[in-house]
Amino acid sequence: MNVLIACGGTGGHLFPGLAVAEALNARQHSVTLVVSEKAIDGAALAPLMARQDGRRIAVRPLGAIGWSGARRVFSFAVCLAQATRECAALYEEFRPDVVLGMGGFTSAPAVMAGRWRKTRTMIHESNAVPGKANQFVSRFVDHVALGLGECARYFGRKPTTVTGTPVRDTLRHGRRADALEQLGLQRGRNTVLVMGGSQGAHALNEAMAAALPWFDHWRARVQFVHLSGVKDEASVRHAYEVNGFAANVMSFCNQMELAYSAADLVIARAGAATLTEIAATGLPSILVPYPHAAGNHQWHNARVFERAGATRLLEQSVLDTGLHATRGERLAEAVIGLLEDEEQRADMAAAARSLGTTDAAERIANLLERYAN
């Protein structure tokens, strides 16, 4: 079976798509990944391509497509039409039996071209509230796979299946001692993982830098792994150095199993892929939803975790208002409160694990096989 998976643009679309590709590859199916031309996609794909050993996964980049509002609808339509033609030309060569879109506007032309060629099509929506791209293309698909059951109501009478969101299998096999050594961190300290998604989060970076002075009495007991994004890497590293904290600051990490294995607590945005990985690794968290996400979907995602007792939810407005020191104090207070309460962290970790789906990639592979046949 030939399967085309359109999954580029952000880690939230790309990493679940890679997990499905590896599950299909293990079943001896051929996969072509349609990704964006962003550097983040190339960096994330490098480990997969390096370990392929001749297995049947091909990668094709697609020109940038992005919705930037109604005032630019004409330019968006032109880009979308051009990308759809590119995908249709690719289908002449690859001839997919079924097409899977993982969300984002990189997936839209692949799904539309599949519909045009009368190929079976499916999308996966990982959030509690669907993104604009999936809402747009859902009318063209045969089936919708869902990360969260709460999302089904947005797709009307379209057939849906709750599969969970796929997570890379490598994330579950890390050893803490090995991870600490490879990250240059010490044993015997609490490790806090700070991350803003695959491209970092400026507001989260600033909030963490503001919080560091409030950790004064924890200097010998805590250390950090901070994924900052490219633009803030130097300033974030400087903040840890000036305040005297041990930290491994990286713009991007393509070995997330190390970061998760080392962590005792995660501070993160609330994108669906991030939450899926937190659930799979069973970690307590402090979630700061991105307030400008479409449909405020990150807040809805975070609320699922909060209701389950798996996280402490902090609104970004709490971090953005008041004096610089006050902002830092609120975040530091939340972190220190959890570091001091091992029992609460254990309860949150168990709640996070209860929200995970260990076989989501296999469930999606089953659906793809069913529709292809």
Which residues touch 157 (CB under 8 Å, ≥6 apart)? none
Core vs surface per residue 288-303: b (16+ CB within 10 A) or e: bbbeebeeebbbbbbb
Q: What is the DSSP string of 219-277?
A: TTTEEEEEE--TTTHHHHHHHHHHHT--EEEES--S-HHHHHHH-SEEEE---HHHHHH
pLDDT computed for residue 3 by the predictor:
96
pLDDT computed for residue 40 by the predictor:
67
User: Could you tell me the mean pLDDT of each successive run of 10 residues in the chain, 373 residues long?
Assistant: 88 88 92 81 69 66 59 68 84 92 87 90 94 89 93 93 90 86 95 83 91 92 95 95 96 90 96 92 96 86 95 87 65 95 97 92 96 86
- Partner residues linked to 100 by β-bridges: 5, 122
CB 290 within 8 A of CB 269: yes
Q: What is the DSSP letter of 55?
A: -
Q: Which CATH superfamily is domain 170-354 in?
A: Glycogen Phosphorylase B; (3.40.50.2000)
pLDDT computed for residue 55 by the predictor:
57
- What is the sign, positive or negative, of the torsion defined by CA atoms of 294, 367, 158, 303? negative
Domain ranges for the chain, please list them. Answer: 2-165+357-372, 170-354
The topology (CATH level 3) of 2-165+357-372 is Rossmann fold (3.40.50)
Which candidate, 119, 127, 112, places its Cα nearest to that of 97?
119
Q: What is the DSSP letter of 138?
A: G
Domains 2-165+357-372 and 170-354 share a fold: yes
Q: What φ, ψ does residue 217 adopt, rounded to 5°?
A: -75, -5
Which candidate, 192, 184, 245, places its Cα nearest to that of 220?
245
Q: What is the DSSP letter of 353?
A: H
Which candidate, 93, 92, 142, places its Cα nearest to that of 117?
92
pLDDT computed for residue 91 by the predictor:
87
User: Given strand 120-125, what is the order of strands in its sheet?
Assistant: 57-62, 30-36, 2-6, 98-101, 120-125, 143-146, 160-162
pLDDT computed for residue 119 by the predictor:
93
pLDDT computed for residue 49 by the predictor:
66
Q: What is the DSSP letter of 7?
A: -
Core vs surface per residue 92-106: b (16+ CB within 10 A) or e: eebebbbbbbbbbbb
- Partner residues linked to 249 by β-bridges: 226
pLDDT computed for residue 70 by the predictor:
52
- Partner residues linked to 303 by β-bridges: none
pLDDT computed for residue 254 by the predictor:
80
